[in-house]
DNA sequence: TATTGTTATACTCTATAACTATA
DNA sequence: TATAGTTATAGAGTATAACAATA
């Protein structure tokens, strides 16, 4: 008979697979972001680009793409849109005229400043089920996993 | 001048954002999967479906979709393909003729059996940078975050 | 020759709405 | 009326290859 398949589904070999759990956890984190920013038309990808540009004024476009694991081809399209939206400036430096140096405009800085509080709130909410110590541990382990820990 | 933007890029507010770190970590985990299974034409999504069906013989299609956070519409398409590939059977149960109960075929079971070892190896490799204790901690925290921990 | 960025394009995932057949 | 699944389709996100300009 077919009365098996219990209510909380058995995950089998998936139950402790890091890749699968990372996917589920990330879906939840993205959902928290969209809950907070649904009305703004702001995506996690664009917001993280703006934050990293803010932390690295004049960063080369390809370096930014590399840091965020985005293909240069796709970065080009997004940067063109952000420039047209007036959020970033792109400057061709004299010492290497192939490159594009990127900075936030005042409008770009104002945008992330206006959303910084809600961004932090969303990040907290995404891991609200964890105790404070657990959150710190999780972040530290993910930093290590992503090659982003302090050496 | 523009000589800022240091080699390991500053991540700013992103440096300890769980959502961003989860994304980077998941990209790495997926890369580990594809390194292992590139030649097989096997994707993480399909492989995880087969594993969960194996652990829940006769599971309803919608329940499976729910457990894996996949929309029913997309699950329908994938299941039709897996059935045509001879990996799963779909049976309409007599007690609810709207439903589809899914089971692995012998071929489906053989496929996951043939790849189980490499799947475990890939999962290990994805978190190889962590110490054994750290891996267990990470998995436990992710299970909690994904609502998949033992209550 | 190699590198930086761009364009064009295709492919996969995912999302929504309208539909059917059953309950 | 509500539910399970299906179809069609549209939209992100992401991938590759060919190219121009520059080093």
Closest by CA to B91, choosing from B126, B55, B53, B143, is: B53
What is the band of B3 on the pLDDT scale with cuts at 50, 70, 90? very low
What is the band of A56 on the pLDDT scale with cuts at 50, 70, 90? very high
Segment A97-107 mean pLDDT = 98
What's the whole-number average pLDDT of chain B? Answer: 91
pLDDT at residue A151, rounded to an integer: 63
More confident residue, B40 or B113: B113
Segment B100-114 mean pLDDT = 97
Residue A117 pLDDT exceeds 70: yes
pLDDT at residue A149, rounded to an integer: 78
Q: What are phi and psi of A40, to 5 degrees?
A: -80, -15
What is the band of A148 on the pLDDT scale with cuts at 50, 70, 90? confident
Residue A6 pLDDT exceeds 70: no
pLDDT at residue B151, rounded to an integer: 64
Separation in Å: C16 C1' and A114 CA = 31
Indicate if CB(B38) is under 7 A from strand C: no
Residue A38 pLDDT exceeds 80: no
Closest nt to residue A99, judged CA to C1': C4
Task: Report the helix count and the strand count for chain B, using DSSP H and E.
Answer: 6, 3
For every residue of B59-79, DSSP letters joined together read: EEHHHHHHHTT--HHHHHHHH
Q: Do B52 and A10 touch (CB under 8 A)?
A: yes
pLDDT at residue A5, rounded to an integer: 37
* b/e sequence B128-147, b meaning 16+ C-beta within 10 Å: eebeeebbebbbbbbbbbbe
Residue nearest to nucleotide C21 (CA to C1'): B98
Residue numbers in A 53-72, CB below 7 Å of strand D: 70-71
What is the band of B38 on the pLDDT scale with cuts at 50, 70, 90? confident
Residue B103 pLDDT exceeds 80: yes
pLDDT at residue B5, rounded to an integer: 36
Segment B124-130 mean pLDDT = 93
Chain A positions touching B137 (Cβ under 8 A) are 137, 141
**C-alpha distance from A120 to closest chain B C-alpha (Å):** 8
Sheet holding A88-91, edge to edge: A59-60, A101-104, A88-91
Whether A60 and A97 have beta carbons less than 8 Å apart is answered as no
Question: Where do runs of H (alpha helix) occur along chain A?
Answer: 18-37, 44-55, 61-67, 72-84, 106-126, 132-145
Residues shown for chain B:
151
CA B65, CA B45: separation in Å to the nearest integer?
11
Whether A24 and B67 have beta carbons less than 8 Å apart is answered as no
Segment B116-126, tens digit of pLDDT: 999 999 999 99
CA B139, CA B137: separation in Å to the nearest integer?
6
Candidate from A21-30, A72-81, A142-151, B102-111 with smallest mean pLDDT: A142-151
pLDDT at residue B6, rounded to an integer: 41
Name every residue whose Cβ is closer than 8 Å to that of residue B8 and which is 6 or more positions away in sequence: none
Whether A18 and B123 have beta carbons less than 8 Å apart is answered as yes
pLDDT at residue A40, rounded to an integer: 79
pLDDT at residue A147, rounded to an integer: 83
Q: What percent of chain B has pLDDT over 70?
A: 95
pLDDT at residue A2, rounded to an integer: 37
For A98, counting Cβ atoms within 10 Å of its Cβ (0-12 exposed, 13-18 middle, 19+ buried), the class is exposed
pLDDT at residue B150, rounded to an integer: 74
Residue B55 pLDDT exceeds 50: yes
Indicate if CB(A93) is under 7 A from strand D: no
pTM: 0.92
- Partner residues linked to B104 by β-bridges: B88
pLDDT at residue B39, rounded to an integer: 73
């Amino acid at each position: 008979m077919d009365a098996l398949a219990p209510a909380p589904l058995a995950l089998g070999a998936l139950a402790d697979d890091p890749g699968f759990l990372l996917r589920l956890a990330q879906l939840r984190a993205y959902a928290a972001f969209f809950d907070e920013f649904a009305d703004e038309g702001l995506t996690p990808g664009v917001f993280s680009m703006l934050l990293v540009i803010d932390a690295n004024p004049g960063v080369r476009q390809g370096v930014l793409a590399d840091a965020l694991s985005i293909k240069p081809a796709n970065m080009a399209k997004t940067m063109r849109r952000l420039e047209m939206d007036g959020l970033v400036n792109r400057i061709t430096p004299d010492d290497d005229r192939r490159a594009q140096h990127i900075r936030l405009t005042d409008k770009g800085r104002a945008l992330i400043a206006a959303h910084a509080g809600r961004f932090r709130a969303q990040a907290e909410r995404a891991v609200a089920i964890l105790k404070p110590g657990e959150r710190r541990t999780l972040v530290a382990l993910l930093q290590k996993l992503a090659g982003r820990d302090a050496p």
